[in-house]
Structure 1
């Protein structure tokens, strides 16, 4: 897979996550996510329509902040923060699989964010190494 395609896949994931979760603008989600994509999150209904409905039902003010992002082959993985909903912000590692330029599959691992002062190491659980550099 070419570096250009890998970079495009990363840009697609960042665009649809930030616009869909941040402003409920679904244009990029509708453009880049396959209608029948496979959803592995146990709380989100299947296919693109299920993801769209799930996001549409989130409280206004919900947002997504991307952190570290890596891609290899047809996979893109991004560490990010989901905030603005009920409860603590969630940190997630989302994994997306592309096929023919579209997102066709998604997995995630989510956990509540713990404030840095409450962690044993005293380090934040979320940073963006693309803008802040190493901790």
Structure 2
């Protein structure tokens, strides 16, 4: 459903704009958002807004893609954070009645997982932004 996609697009736009009242309007009061990588669960729109509002400044969000199928929406964003690094998030959202009711986000830093040597003959390293890095750095 296109409406669900529009909700997630607006979510990222409002987070980028630091429009916290606008973000709250897109997230259901009883929404549950899980972050499995860090083992955390955010319950409720007020907590979701607070976590994002209180995150240290210096970041920008670039939406890389959004794919929607009915109420289910997947987004991929890149978040450069000055002095910290570049993060990526793959987020799985459920939208009902124009509001996000559930989410599961996988956040990681680019290059955060070491490349095992055994894979070297089969892979090419990529740099920031997903660009192949011929130097392998």
TM-score normalised according to structure 1 size: 0.74
Q: Bigger radius of gyration, 1 or 2?
A: 2
Residue 106 (1) aligns with residue 109 (2): no
1:7 aligns with 2:10: no
- Whether 1:75 aligns to 2:78 is no
Q: CA RMSD in A?
A: 2.6
| Structure 2: unaligned runs, 5 residues or longer | 131-137
Unaligned runs of 5+ in 1: 1-5, 128-135
**Residues of 1 paired with 2:13 and 2:83: CA distance?**
18
Measured at CA, do residues 108 and 86 of structure 1 come closer, stay the same or move farther in structure 2, by a change above 3 Å?
farther
Equivalent in 26, 36, 40 of residue 30 of structure 2:
36
Q: How many residues align?
A: 119
Q: Which residue of 1 aligns with 2:124?
A: 121
Between Structure 1 and Structure 2, the one with more strand by share is 2
Of 89, 94, 107 in structure 2, the residue corresponding to residue 92 of structure 1 is 89
